[in-house]
Amino acid sequence: MAVTAITTIKRYIGLSTDTKPSGATVPTGSTFLEYDTQQLYITPDDGTVWTLKSLPEGHGVETTTINLKQVAASYDLFEVKGKDCMIDGLVFIVPADLSGEAALTSVSIQSTDDTPVVFLSAVDGAVANLDAAGKHFVYRGPDVVAKDKKIQLTIAGGATAADQVCSVYVSYRPVGSGGYLEVS
| Residue 154 phi, psi (nearest 5) | -110, 125
pLDDT at residue 24, rounded to an integer = 86
pLDDT digits (tens, 9 = 90+) for 13-72: 888 888 999 988 898 888 888 877 767 888 888 888 888 776 556 678 899 999 999 999
**Residue of 44, 49, 41 lying closest to 3 (CA atoms):** 44
pLDDT band at 140 (very low <50, low <70, confident <90, very high): confident
The better pLDDT of the pair 134, 111 is held by 111
The better pLDDT of the pair 44, 113 is held by 113
pLDDT at residue 6, rounded to an integer = 65
Average pLDDT rounded to a whole number, residues 106-131: 97
Could you give the strand order of the β-sheet that contains 73-81, starting from the edge strand earlier in sequence? 118-120, 106-111, 150-156, 73-81, 180-183
* Percent residues over pLDDT 90 in the chain: 60
Instruction: Report the C-alpha gap between 125 and 120 in whole angstroms.
Output: 6
pLDDT at residue 33, rounded to an integer = 83
Average pLDDT rounded to a whole number, residues 85-96: 94
HSE-CB at 61 with a 13 A cutoff on CA atoms is 18
pLDDT digits (tens, 9 = 90+) for 146-158: 999 999 999 999 9
Distance of CA 16 to CAs 12, 19, 149, Å?
Answer: 12, 8, 30
Instruction: Report the C-alpha gap between 121 and 137 in whole angstroms.
Output: 10
